[in-house]
């Protein structure tokens, strides 16, 4: 069986792979130390839109991990890039600073009267007033965007609703389907792989590590990356049997990799 030690690049999900909420998972420090020691190129790729790369860097630093800000890419950044490419200039946003700042950075201003887009990401400030506002704006013609298609996200207190669960009431109320930008959307994966291409690293040389079959593993499979499922998040070995595709490897967590 091909070993992961020979891979030149690693794309790692964060929630359920690196941490649960504010709790670092077992073996992660050893894995990150191994990446640095062996000069592996790596990218932490998260569908969570709440935090900026700088905030994620600081979060890991508080957990004792030293990772450069350039090693992060988020669904918020991918969503901002998508909207910029679409020529968008205004949006009504249900989301936190990681999303709003990413939109500001590409020239998109917030508008709750006549926006071109309604954009929804993870947030703890979700309420019925924002749902009503978003529903009204979509019914008036605003296009509906979700930063990612995760229904739940793992925390140290168990799974909680994620972006797709927050978008669902607006989809039902308007009879409009949202367009989801994050994993497994190829837009997100191409943006991630472009970080490796400048080092001459291509898809066969890269492993993607995630805890979700419906985002991480299908994204790896469809992008030609080596697929590695870890059982430290929302999936179990029984979960795998419900899908028509499989990861190449199933590990307990990323801490298994340095010892392979």
Active-site residues: which are they?
13, 15
Using a 10 angstrom Cβ sphere, with 0-12 exposed, 13-18 middle and 19 or more buried, the burial of residue 22 is exposed
Q: Report d(CA 87, CA 108) in Å as an integer.
A: 9
Query: Two tokens at 166?
Result: 């927050």
Q: Report d(CA 260, CA 53) in Å as an integer.
A: 30
Query: Two tokens at 43?
Result: 């990218």
Query: Two tokens at 206?
Result: 């890269």
The answer to whether 92 and 119 are in contact (CB under 8 A) is yes
> What are the CA-CA distances from residue 243 to residues 149, 167, 227 (Å)?
17, 24, 14
Q: What is the DSSP letter of 21?
A: T
């Amino acid at each position: 069986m091909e070993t992961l030690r020979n891979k030149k690049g690693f794309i790692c999900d964060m929630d359920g792979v690196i941490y649960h909420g504010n709790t670092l998972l077992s073996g992660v420090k050893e894995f990150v130390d191994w990446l640095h020691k062996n000069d592996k190129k790596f990218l932490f790729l998260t569908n969570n839109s709440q935090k900026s790369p700088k905030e994620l860097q600081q979060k890991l630093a508080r957990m004792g991990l030293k990772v450069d800000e350039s090693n992060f890419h988020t669904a918020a950044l991918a969503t901002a890039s998508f909207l910029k490419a679409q020529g968008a200039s205004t949006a009504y946003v249900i989301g936190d600073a990681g999303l709003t700042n990413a939109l500001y950075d590409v020239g998109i201003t917030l508008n709750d009267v006549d926006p071109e887009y309604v954009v929804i990401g993870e947030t703890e400030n979700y309420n019925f007033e924002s749902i009503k506002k978003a529903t009204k704006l979509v019914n008036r013609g605003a296009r509906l965007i979700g930063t990612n298609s995760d229904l739940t996200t793992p925390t140290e207190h168990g799974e909680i609703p994620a972006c797709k669960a927050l978008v669902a009431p607006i989809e039902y109320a308007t009879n409009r389907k949202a367009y989801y930008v994050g994993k497994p959307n190829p837009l997100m994966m191409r943006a991630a792989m472009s970080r490796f291409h400048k080092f001459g690293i291509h898809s066969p040389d890269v492993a993607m590590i995630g805890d979700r079959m419906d985002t991480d593993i299908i994204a790896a499979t469809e992008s030609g990356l080596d697929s590695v499922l870890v059982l430290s998040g929302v999936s179990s070995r029984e979960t795998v049997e419900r899908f028509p595709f499989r990861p190449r490897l199933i590990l307990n967590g990323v801490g298994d990799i340095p010892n392979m």
